[in-house]
Amino acid sequence: MEGSALWQGSVLAGILFWLFSSSYLNLTLKLRSFLQPFVTHYVETGTPILLQIQSYRAGFLDALFSGLSCVVSVPFYTAFLPLLFWSGHGQLARQMTLLMAFCDYIGNCIKDVVSAPRPASPPVRRVTATKDEEENALEYGLPSSHTLNTVCLSGYLLHYVLTHTQIQGAYINYFGVSLACLFVALVGLGRIYLGMHSLIDVAAGLFLGLGILGLWLTVHEYIDSFVVSGQNVTTFWAALSFILLFAYPTPELPTPSFEFHTAFNGVALGIVTGVQQTYHQFHHDNVHRLFTSEMTIPEFMGRMLLGIPTILIVKFCSKTLAKWTIPVVANTLGIPIKSTSYLPTVNGAMTGEKSKAFDVDTGIRFLQYAGLAWSVVDLVPSLFSYMNL
């Protein structure tokens, strides 16, 4: 117990020390002044290569690469991961969720530190087939988050399949690695073809993803053991999530990157909290799994029909509750607040300097996604148990 408290306190203290020291030393601006000109130069000089790749323009390629971008996007994973939990593969689901949150934090921090532009459009043709892609285009370029996430998540999925299933053999390993490499290559090429990233963005996403994947494969068993059976898990993770809302660099210009980080930060907290409370009920190694006699496809479809509306309702209720409680708490404590989207009327009645005001949208977004994630692993499985699904 004392050992757990010691290392948990050390981790939180280390992050706080880094937060205050980097702020005092103004590290973000110093790193940006060094890295931004270098990256921008390669983005600009790489434009002819992008135009050469885009000269093979075809409707089929537009559809293929736009589809791949959707399949490896954050909204897709947000929809896919609950189904993975409900299919009985709890360990894989929670590891991929936490890995996704880690990738999102590291990738978006680097984006906003460097604040390097995406390829200029025009002359580069930028294809944004979905609203998600339009929001992505508002972020800075380096690294390519799609490439980074694809390397990490496809790599971890391959590792899980090869180590936790009966699928074994040298040829299977070779085929799996080849398929993962092909998928990563297509996603990276697609980001360039669609005009969303330059070569240096994709290369940075690739190498950063390999580094994060290697680190995660080293520590993932320790993290999973801590989440399911550790001491002070919920308290530690809540404190960590709160600190990470502030341990984030200020970009040169506002982008949606911090919003994406806030959402997945909340998701990670909700998943960890729910799994910690209900592991021995719903997420242990002997739960029913899809494609076995214990869980048929019709039963899984029933889980989807019950689970998806439930988590959407919880997300709406969490957002509504947060929109009401956070301003009340802030006003009670005398904290000046502002809102960029959720509560526009707050700005008109705001007192104090706007630059020093707390943006309540951060808290609202964080709590609504934490509530959604908690319902995926706690509330919804409880309903499954009650309905015998």
What local confidence, expressed as pLDDT, does residue 351 receive?
A: 46
DSSP-based three-state secondary structure for 99: helix
Residue 168 has pLDDT above 80, yes or no: no
What is the number of domains present in the chain?
1
Quote the domain boundaries for residue 178.
Answer: 14-225
d(CA 329, CA 186): 48
Which candidate, 202, 162, 210, places its Cα nearest to that of 186? 202
In a domain, 360, yes or no: no
Q: What does the pLDDT read at residue 124?
A: 86
pLDDT at 15 over 50: yes
pLDDT for 348: 47
Q: Is it the case that residue 1 has pLDDT exceeding 70?
A: no
Percent of the chain with pLDDT over 90: 37
pLDDT digits (tens, 9 = 90+) for 349-371: 444 455 567 788 888 899 999 99
Does residue 297 have a pLDDT over 50?
yes
- 131 in any annotated domain: yes
Would 343 be classed as within a structural domain? no
Task: Render pLDDT for 86-138 as a digit per residue (tens, 0 to 9).
Answer: 988 888 999 999 999 999 999 999 999 999 999 988 888 888 877 777 888 88
pLDDT average, residue stretch 11-33: 89
Q: Could you tell me if residue 57 is inside a domain?
A: yes
Alpha-carbon dihedral of residues 261, 228, 76, 322, nearest 10 degrees? Answer: -50
Measured CA to CA, the distance from residue 380 to residue 82 in angstroms comes to 10
Does residue 372 sit within a domain? no
Query: Rounded mean pLDDT of the chain?
Result: 87
Whole-number pLDDT of residue 355: 54
Among 75-84, 148-157, 194-203, 225-234, which is the least confidently predicted range? 75-84
The yes-or-no verdict on residue 55 having pLDDT over 50 is yes
The reply to whether 140 falls in a domain is yes
Q: Does residue 311 belong to any structural domain of this protein?
A: no
**Does pLDDT of 80 surpass 80?**
yes
Among candidates 196, 220, 95, 181, which has minimal Cα distance to 145? 196
Relative orientation angle of helices 360-374 and 297-333, to the nearest 10 degrees:
150
User: What is the predicted pLDDT for the residue at 203?
Assistant: 94
On whether residue 335 sits in a domain, the answer given is no
Sequence-distant (≥ 6) Cβ neighbours of residue 40 within 8 angstroms: 116, 117
Between CA 101 and CA 92 the distance in angstroms is: 14
Mean per-residue pLDDT, 56-71: 84
pTM of the model: 0.89
230 band by pLDDT with thresholds 50, 70 and 90: confident
Packing angle, helices 2-25 and 233-244, rounded to 10: 0
Supply the pLDDT for residue 181: 92
Question: Which one is predicted more confidently, 239 or 169?
Answer: 239
Provide the annotated active-site residues: 146, 197
